[in-house]
Each structure stands twice: as C-alpha cells, then as structure tokens.
Amino acid sequence: MKINLIILAAILRLLVSGLLFHPDIKIIAFQTSFLRDGVTDIYRHLIQNKANLTLKEEFVYFPLTYFTIGSYQALAAPFLGDGFDSWLKDAGANSVVNNPNIFWYLIVLKLPLLIMDVVIAYLLLKFFKDRKLSQKAFELWLFNPFTIILIYAFSNIDLYAVLLTVIAFLYIRQKKLIKASVFIGLAIAFKLYSLLFVPFLFVSAKNIKEKMLTIVIPISIFVVSLIPFWSSAFIDSALVSGLSTRIFSPNFLIGFGESMIIGIFLLTILFLYVARYEKKINLLKLFVILLLILFSFSHFHISWLLWIAPFLIILVIKQPKLIWLVFLWSLLAVSIPMFYSDRSMTISLFRIYSTWFDLLPVPFTVVQKFYDPFGVQSIIHSALAGVSVLITYMMFKKEEALS
C-alpha cells in the first residue's frame, strides 16, 4: 500500500517540479555549479568575479548548502546534457524559460527534494505507536497541497534543515538529547532558525554534563562549518543577509535609537516560563510554539513555512480537533506572501508556458487599485497571529497535544 502511495506521490511531485519555475532554483544552481570548477569559497569568488558573471547575485546560504547542492549537481551533470551550463549562465529572462530542456532541468535539479520529502514521510510514521495514526500522517504529508507547492514550486532548499530537525526530534522522543543536538547543529549549519531551539534543549537536559553538551555540540558544529569561510564576503552575503536577520524583526522604538524586538521578547517569556514552571517539558510542543511566534511576528519568506509543516502534521493527527485551526493557519500563512510585490510568488511561476504571463498583474497590483496592499498583508498577518495564539493556548491546555 505504501509503495503505491509513494509512486503516486512521486508522479505528482515530478509534474509540479517540471511545470512550475521559480528563478531561485536557477540562481542557486548557477552559484553551486562553481564547485565543479574547484571553487570552495563561493562567497569570495562571486564578489571578486562579479564584473565577469552573467548572474551577479550573492550566495546568501551557508557553506553546507553550497557543498551539498554543488556535490549533487556534479553527480547529475552527465544527465543534464551539454547545454545545461549555457542555460545556467543565460541571464535572459525570456531565453531561459524558452529553453526546450527547461522541464528536464527542473525535474533533475529538484530530485534531491523528492528524496528528502519521501524520507520525511517515512520518518513521520515513527512518531506514532498506533498504526492507523501513523498511516494518516504518512498520507497527509504526501498529499496535502501546501507542502507540495512549498517544496516543488518554490524550490525549497530549506527541506535539508527540516529533514534534520525531524530526525533530531525522533531522538528527542527516545530521550537521546546528545544525538538530537548533533542533528540540530547540522540543521543550524543549513538554516539559522534552529539555533533558537538550543536553549530549550539545555533546559530539558537532566544533568550538568548533558546540559553543557546540548549547548556545545550544536554551536560547535555550526561554528566549525563556518570558520573556513569566515570573511567580510561571507558575513555580508550570508551571515547578516536579509534572510538570516529577518527573524529579528519587527520591532518598535523605545527611544534613543533602541528598539524592542517582539519575537525575541515573546521567546524569552516562553523560555523562562518553561524553565521555571513546566514540570514535564515537551520539546516538540515548544518547537511548534517557537515557530508560531516566529511566523506571527516577522516578515517571513514563503519557504520558511516548511520549517513547521511536519510538526503541524503530527499535531493534527494527535489532536484532530485542531485540524480546522491548523488548516486556517496554513491558508493564512501561504496567502501573505502571495500579496508581496514579487512576481515570482505568483504569475512568474507559469512563465515557462508563455511569456504572455508577464502581461498579467500580480495580486499586489490588483489590490492596489482598490486598497492598500500592505494593509491587506497586515490584516492577514494579524489574523495569523491571532490563530497562532489560539493554537498555542490549545496546546498548553491539552498537555498530551504532542506527547
């Protein structure tokens, strides 16, 4: 039964992979292609050779992402054909999507995502003792439209970090915090958001030695992965890029140039409450609440939504009464980026069929004719925060919500 579901899910994913194009996948593929030429420090290379490159964007991800994707591309290069490198270097907006091989390129480039996606589906089975519940989680992950679009339309490389956090929480369920810390550290080396969870690992550890290791291990893995590439180029491109620092906004001024960061304020309250008052610490529940706070009080990229996706699946399977709240939250969360003034969020996904799609207005422009589109984003985001608060309340109310 599972094999049949996997085959059906794989076909669906391959169709979405080949039929929707977000430009990020080409930019990242171009940047990581330099690993095949022996370039190890991509940050310095891109800045030093910027004048000679057709695509001039900086590499905004961490080194582990560069080496992982670059290594896969080196293995896949023989299957991509002789014209692939020319396509990568092509900076023409129309010629790129008009390339007859683009569908094949997209499928091959997204294959690692398919593999990790299926692995996550199997890992979710292990979060449930009841076979029927595990099957529901398996099916819900494979066939809900949210994760399929997030992963395969937007070329979501955040899946690397997500897979590692899922593995970490399997070890947490087995009370193996040291092993969990290793995978949290690897996740941080891909995406910084997992660093916010390290203090909660520390609090849940039973003794001083374990507490110290839950701090030292993930941070050491993160630091070691960065040290060989530490430079002003790396700091400016990746470490303090908008994608990394956006989690520290929004904020409001409290005078003399000082600001109060809402997300950090609420996470501090959550941490201190857990450290002082929670008798039985449920790390999975806390991770979901942490991410709910993050999304409620930051201008998030749509790819970030995948961070919470597997854990929301676990939540709704264990607490079916929350499914309508989680569905509403997911709908609101996906809707917000659709109103950004960014064609690649909506219309441009379909340019591979025809560049006539360029003539269609994005939702931001349509709304602008009648109302302030930023106001619409604010309304939806405020509703998202409200639903997040309610989900958090329900999770605290029901101690077994994610046990």
d(CA 65, CA 191): 9
Sign of the CA dihedral with 151 first, then 157, 160, and 161 last: negative
Instruction: Say if CB 311 and CB 288 are below 8 A apart.
Output: yes
d(CA 226, CA 232): 12
DSSP 88-150: HH---HHHHHH-TTHHHHHHHHTHHHHHHHHHHHHHHHTT-SSHHHHHHHHHHHHH-HHHHII
Instruction: Say if CB 374 and CB 330 are below 8 A apart.
Output: no
Beta-bridge partner residues of 253 = 259
Residue 358 CB neighbours (<10 A): 12
> Over its length of 403 residues, how does the chain's per-residue pLDDT go in tens digits?
578 889 999 999 999 999 999 999 999 999 999 999 999 999 999 999 998 889 889 999 999 999 999 999 999 999 998 899 999 998 887 888 889 999 999 999 999 999 999 999 999 999 999 899 999 999 999 999 999 999 999 877 899 999 999 999 999 999 999 999 999 999 999 999 999 999 999 999 889 999 999 999 999 999 999 999 999 999 988 887 655 666 666 666 676 677 777 888 888 999 998 888 887 889 999 999 999 999 998 888 899 999 999 999 999 999 999 999 999 999 999 999 999 988 888 888 888 888 888 888 888 999 899 899 999 999 999 999 999 999 999 988 776 556 6
d(CA 393, CA 369): 38
DSSP 256-290: TTEEEEHHHHHHHHHHHHHHHH-SS--HHHHHHHH
